[in-house]
């Protein structure tokens, strides 16, 4: 089992709101359960897509997504086996937490491992107790 944790900033524990992917199966459900237990407010969709700009000789329009939460969670995973130690799913995973206020990546966690260990490492990173590798 292996994991790569990179922290690029601290998670603001005073603004515990995050946009999460829909669904509740596998790692997605376990991560959302851990967030809920830690007091995080979750939303499944971001805010409206906005188009702004200037009209005139040199028209310039820009589009961007908006969010009603401080953070956005991007989560990719798939099961490749079963962990023998406790029969939990063995996963390849890639988790990214983005700060919507600063548009910066705060946490990146990827690797392969038992589902319960992935949730544990993610929770530690969110609480600022995980160690970057």
**With bands split at pLDDT 50, 70 and 90, how would you rate the model's confidence at 121?**
very high
Output the pLDDT for position 51: 79
Rounded-to-integer distance, Cα 124 and Cα 107, Å: 11
> ∠19-108-22 over CA atoms, to 5°?
30
DSSP of 7-37? E-S---TT--EEE--S--SHHHHHHHHHHHH
Strand partners of residue 42: 18
pLDDT above 60 (res 132):
no
Band the pLDDT of 46: cuts 50, 70, 90: low
How confident is the model at residue 105, as a pLDDT?
A: 97
Please tell me the predicted confidence (pLDDT) of residue 68.
86
Range of 44-53, 58-67, 92-101 with top mean pLDDT: 92-101
Which band of pLDDT confidence, cut at 50, 70 and 90, is reported for residue 8?
A: very high
């Amino acid at each position: 089992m292996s994991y790569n944790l990179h922290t690029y900033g601290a998670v603001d524990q005073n603004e515990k709101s995050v946009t999460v992917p829909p669904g509740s199966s596998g790692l997605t459900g376990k991560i959302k359960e851990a967030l809920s237990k830690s007091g995080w407010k979750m939303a499944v969709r971001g805010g409206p897509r906005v188009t702004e700009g200037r009209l005139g000789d040199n028209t310039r329009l820009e589009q961007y997504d908006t969010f009603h939460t401080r953070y956005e969670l991007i989560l990719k995973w798939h099961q490749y086996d079963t962990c023998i130690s406790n029969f939990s799913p063995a996963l390849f995973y890639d988790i990214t937490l983005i700060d919507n206020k600063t548009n910066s990546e705060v946490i990146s966690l990827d690797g392969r491992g038992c589902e319960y260990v992935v949730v544990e490492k993610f929770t530690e990173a969110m609480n600022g107790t995980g160690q970057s590798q």
